[in-house]
Structure 1
Amino acid sequence: MENRSEAFRGLAGCLTVAAGGIAGMLAWAPYGRHGLLSGFEGAKEWNVLWLGLPVMTFGGVAAGLTLVALAGRKWRRAAGAAAALAALAGFGVAFDVLEGPPLACGPGC
């Protein structure tokens, strides 16, 4: 019976981490669409793809790992995953990969 519960917890953990990665990609999608399809004055902003997508995806994965570790009461693993999440957020802020798309300007611009 223990093997089934371990397998269920492992599956739930994998699904949580995968959902975090997918959530990161979905959160990136509006910024990626703006940067790749209609960048500033028609120029494509490739840093949105090369920096923004990995930061958001790995950030979602790190958030999922943090949740799984917290649910399993593994405090050191949770602290490590939270540190990785903080490092990714710091990288994103330092290189402006998490900066939102510019606000749409009205007709008076």
Structure 2
Amino acid sequence: MEIENPRREAVTGTAGCVTAFAGALAGIVLWAPHGKGGLLDGFEGASNWNVLWVGLPLMILGGIAAALALFFLVRRDGKRALGLVAAIGVLVAVGIGVDALAGAPRPECYDPC
């Protein structure tokens, strides 16, 4: 299969890579409050390394998958976008199953709860 417009393919590929990178950065930014809470303010001063070793990769992969799903929706490629949405569902299930963000910051409660 020959590429009809190599310049367009190069621009599309570059846009996909930039989108994936932006998704990874978004995953890190969203993970940061949970990571800080799990590593620095753990229960009785103990750090929860599960937040770093499991939570961070899951958030990065989830950010990449979400960004690429949006990218494919914009390009009107519904099958790939649906596959990535399914992958996000699997990542969420794994994260909940292993309690990857167990050190997440909790809202303060001023009345007796």
8 A contact 2:35–2:101 mirrored in 1: no
Question: CA RMSD for the aligned pairs?
Answer: 2.0
The code of the aligned residue for 2:24 comes to G
Matched, 1:27 2:30: yes
Is there any run of 5+ residues in structure 2 with no aligned partner, and where?
Answer: none
Matched, 1:13 2:16: yes
2:80 alignment partner, one of 77, 81, 85: 77
* Residues in 1 aligned to 2:37 and 2:81: alpha-carbon distance in whole angstroms: 34
Over residues 56-84 of structure 1, what are the superposed CA-to-partner deviations in whole Å (9 max), with x where a residue is unaligned?
Answer: 11000111221122122222211111110
**TM-score normalized by structure 2?**
0.83
**TM-score normalized by structure 1?**
0.85
Is there any run of 5+ residues in structure 1 with no aligned partner, and where?
Answer: none
Structural mapping, 1:35-54, within 5 Å: 35-54=38-57
* Residues in 2 aligned to 1:76 and 1:98: alpha-carbon distance in whole angstroms: 30
1:103 alignment partner, one of 77, 101, 107: 107
- Which structure shows the bigger proportion of residues in helix conformation? 1
Does the residue aligned with 1:65 lie in a helix, a strand or coil?
helix
8 A contact 2:24–2:63 mirrored in 1: yes
Residues matched between the structures, number: 107
**Identity of aligned pairs, percent?**
49
Higher RCO, 1 or 2 (CA under 8 Å, sep at least 6)?
A: 2
